[in-house]
Amino acid sequence: MNDDKDARFFTTVSSPVGRLTLVGAGDALVGLHFDDDPNAAGARTDASRDDRRLRAAALQLEEYFAGTRTSFELALAPDGTAFQRKVWAALRRIPFGETASYGQIARAVGKPAAVRAVGGANHRNPIAIIIPCHRVIGADGSLTGYGGGLERKRWLLEHEGAL
C-alpha cells in the first residue's frame, strides 16, 4: 500500500446547504458529504485535515454557490463498481440548469431496463453536488429521493434555474 497515494485528507466548507466535508486522496477528490451524512464524520475520523490540498475544490464550490460557476474542473476518483462509475459519468453530462429522469440515465448508460439500478447508483454517489445526482428527477418531473434531503435538492435545482 502506497501511503501517499492511499492516504485520505479532508477539509470542511460552509455553504448555503450546510457544512460540507470534502475528502481527497492522491490528486483527486473522492468524497463530498453533507454534514448530517454519517459518512462525513467517518471521513473526518479516517483522514487528516489538509485545507491546502483541497483548496481548488473549495474555491470551485464557493464559485458555484455564488452563481459564477456552472461546471467543475476537478480530478475526481469516486470509488464504486464499473456500473456505478458509468452512471456517475452520465450524471456529469447533465448540463447545469437541466434535469434528467432515471430512465434517461439508464438509456444513456446502455441499460434501458436498469432504472432501479441507476437509482441505486445515484443514491451511492460519493461526491454530491459536483457529480450532480440532484439533477435526476422522476419520469413525471417530480423531485424524488435525495441523500441530502429533498429540501437541499430543491435548493440546488432552484439555484441552477432548473425549477
pLDDT tens-digit map of 128-151 = 999 999 999 998 988 988 888 899
Determine the Cα–Cα distance for residues 9 and 24; give it in Å rounded to an integer: 5
Residue 148: closest CA among 5, 1, 16, 8: 16
Determine the Cα–Cα distance for residues 50 and 9; give it in Å rounded to an integer: 6
Residues 6+ apart with CB under 8 A from 89: none
Selecting among 133, 137, 156, 162, the annotated active-site residue is 133
Identify the segments of the chain with pLDDT beneath 70.
1-5
Q: Are strands 28-34 and 48-49 parallel, antiparallel or unpaired?
A: unpaired
Residue matched to cell numbers 464550490: 61
Which domains does the chain show, CATH number per domain?
A: 3-66 (3.30.160.70), 82-159 (1.10.10.10)
133 is catalytic: yes
Given this model, what pLDDT does residue 2 score?
45
pTM, two decimals, is: 0.91
For 12, left (φ over 0), alpha (ψ -120 to 50), or beta? beta
Given this model, what pLDDT does residue 5 score?
64
